[in-house]
């Protein structure tokens, strides 16, 4: 961020917290075509319509993408009043693509999940052509890893695309937001599918039951998202509640799996329960950033470009998926060297006491 632009933001920040009651002044769409990089210096400051040079209304970043402050963006982009500057608005798809390579307040949100998409695409190839191929996998293993990696890719891609294209228009933003939220449901299914498949690897009945339950949960959550009020601010807490249910519903099969595998007498349970706890810890930390809007709520305008809560949320979503992929490889490796008969002989104690059988 240039010093000139920083000064312009500071001038606007000085009165204190953003004045959300100030009426939104919709700027005319910028004319980037007339702003060639050769004639337009990077981060040039443009005065507003009143010509008050002390209160610049927008700056033109590298590649001619205009950036606005909070007071100047349309209401549908005003999701976080603690982020003061660096907003893109009213720009066509071409400038959206160019904005990949500038510093806006969405740059980190886009790249964290765009790189995440590329990472899981690499894993999809590597899992199928190297990891599974070398360990004599069967069709179920390949299907499980493929669905998991594809679900994570879908979530990462939809999220990156939403943050890249949400500035085109309100209608475009709503379409991409629906895809973004749908991608979260798909990503959560990608977390549960390998868990249900490998946790109940030797319990065909429960394996099928949980996979069917997972399918119902996925279709149900998608159906709720089609509700016309789903994207409204009034449904903010209902959305959080829905995703919390989807996340913590996983505790049911985890508890069932621990009991059917010998409880805390079992080395397998002792190894994997802490790993599952790490997964939930990552979800809780990421969700806390998302809900509390920390750190920007404590440092408004100071983390607009780097370090805001949504960027931490993205990072923890990615780490959660990567962790689940890592744990799936571990449990897959376990089944590669243990037969079901051998497994049952080792871990039948608590399940037989509690009468939990197929």
The minimum distance between CB 269 and Zn ion, in angstroms, equals 34
306 neighbors 107 (Cβ within 8 angstroms): no
CA separation for the pair 160, 183 (Å, rounded): 11
Q: Give the residue with the Cβ less far from Zn ion, 219 or 291.
A: 291
The minimum distance between CB 248 and Zn ion, in angstroms, equals 21
CA separation for the pair 72, 84 (Å, rounded): 10
CA separation for the pair 354, 350 (Å, rounded): 6
Q: Which stretch binds Zn ion (CB under 5 A): 1-9, 75-83, 157-165, 258-266?
A: 157-165
Enumerate the H helices of 59-203 as residue ranges.
93-98, 107-126, 132-134, 139-165, 170-199
Distances 26 to 52, 78, 167 between C-alpha atoms, Å:
17, 13, 13
Q: Which stretch binds Zn ion (CB under 5 A): 31-39, 52-60, 158-166, 217-225?
A: 158-166
The minimum distance between CB 178 and Zn ion, in angstroms, equals 13
The minimum distance between CB 13 and Zn ion, in angstroms, equals 24
Q: Which stretch binds Zn ion (CB under 5 A): 20-28, 155-163, 232-240, 279-287?
A: 155-163
Q: Across the strands, what pairs with 17? A: none
| DSSP states of 222-257 | HHHHTSTTTTSGGGHHHHHHHHHHHHHTTHHHHHHH
Q: Give the residue with the Cβ less far from Zn ion, 159 or 260.
A: 159
Check the annotation: does 43 bind a ligand.
Answer: no
Check the annotation: does 203 bind a ligand.
Answer: no
Report which residue's Cβ sits closest to Zn ion.
159
Q: Which stretch binds Zn ion (CB under 5 A): 120-128, 140-148, 151-159, 281-289?
A: 151-159
CA separation for the pair 203, 340 (Å, rounded): 9
The minimum distance between CB 20 and Zn ion, in angstroms, equals 22
The minimum distance between CB 311 and Zn ion, in angstroms, equals 9
Check the annotation: does 28 bind a ligand.
Answer: no
The minimum distance between CB 11 and Zn ion, in angstroms, equals 30
CA separation for the pair 238, 225 (Å, rounded): 11
**What phi and psi values does residue 60 have, to the nearest 5 degrees?**
-100, 115
Q: Which stretch binds Zn ion (CB under 5 A): 22-30, 137-145, 159-167, 324-332?
A: 159-167
Beta-carbon neighbour count of residue 190 at 10 Å? 24
197 neighbors 173 (Cβ within 8 angstroms): no
Q: Give the residue with the Cβ less far from Zn ion, 144 or 311.
A: 311
Q: Give the residue with the Cβ less far from Zn ion, 105 or 144.
A: 105
Binding to Zn ion by CB under 5 A, coded x per residue (else -) over 103-142, reads ----------------------------------------
Q: Give the residue with the Cβ less far from Zn ion, 105 or 159.
A: 159
* Torsion angle in degrees (nearest 10) through CA of 118, 124, 125, 129: 160
Q: Which residues are annotated as a binding site for Zn(2+)?
A: 163, 310, 314
Site of interaction with Zn ion (CB under 5 A)? 159
Q: Which residues are annotated as a binding site?
A: 163, 310, 314
């Amino acid at each position: 961020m240039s010093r000139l632009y920083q000064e312009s933001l500071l001038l606007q920040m000085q009165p204190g917290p953003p004045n959300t009651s100030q009426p939104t002044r919709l700027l005319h769409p910028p004319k980037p075509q007339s702003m060639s990089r050769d004639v337009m210096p990077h981060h040039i400051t443009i005065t507003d319509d009143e010509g008050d040079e002390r209160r610049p209304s927008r700056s033109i970043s590298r590649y001619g993408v205009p950036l606005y402050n909070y007071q100047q963006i349309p209401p549908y982009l005003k999701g976080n009043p603690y982020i003061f500057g660096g907003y893109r608005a009213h720009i066509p798809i071409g400038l959206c693509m160019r904005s990949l390579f500038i510093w806006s307040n969405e740059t980190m949100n886009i790249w964290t999940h765009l790189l995440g998409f590329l990472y899981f695409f690499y894993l999809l190839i590597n899992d199928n052509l190297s990891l599974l191929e070398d360990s004599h996998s069967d069709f179920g293993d390949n299907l499980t890893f493929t669905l998991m990696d594809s679900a994570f890719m879908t979530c990462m891609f939809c999220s990156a695309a939403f943050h890249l294209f949400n500035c085109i228009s309100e209608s475009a933003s709503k379409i991409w937001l629906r895809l973004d939220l749908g991608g979260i449901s798909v990503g959560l299914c990608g977390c549960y599918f390998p868990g249900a498949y490998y946790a109940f690897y030797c319990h065909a009945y429960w394996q099928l039951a949980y996979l069917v339950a997972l399918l119902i949960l996925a279709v149900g959550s998608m159906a709720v998202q089609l509700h016309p009020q789903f994207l409204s601010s009034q449904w903010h807490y209902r959305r959080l509640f829905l995703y919390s249910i989807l996340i913590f519903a996983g505790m049911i099969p985890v508890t069932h799996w621990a009991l059917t595998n010998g409880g805390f007498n079992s080395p397998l349970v002792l190894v994997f329960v802490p790993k599952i706890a790490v997964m939930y810890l990552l979800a809780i930390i990421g969700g806390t950033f998302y809900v509390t809007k920390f750190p920007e709520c404590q440092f408004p305008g100071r983390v607009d470009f780097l370090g805001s809560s949504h960027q931490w949320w993205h990072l923890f979503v990615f780490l959660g998926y990567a962790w689940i992929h890592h744990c799936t490889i571990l449990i897959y490796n376990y089944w590669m060297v243990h037969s079901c008969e051998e497994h049952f002989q080792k871990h039948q104690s608590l399940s037989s006491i509690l009468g939990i059988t197929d």
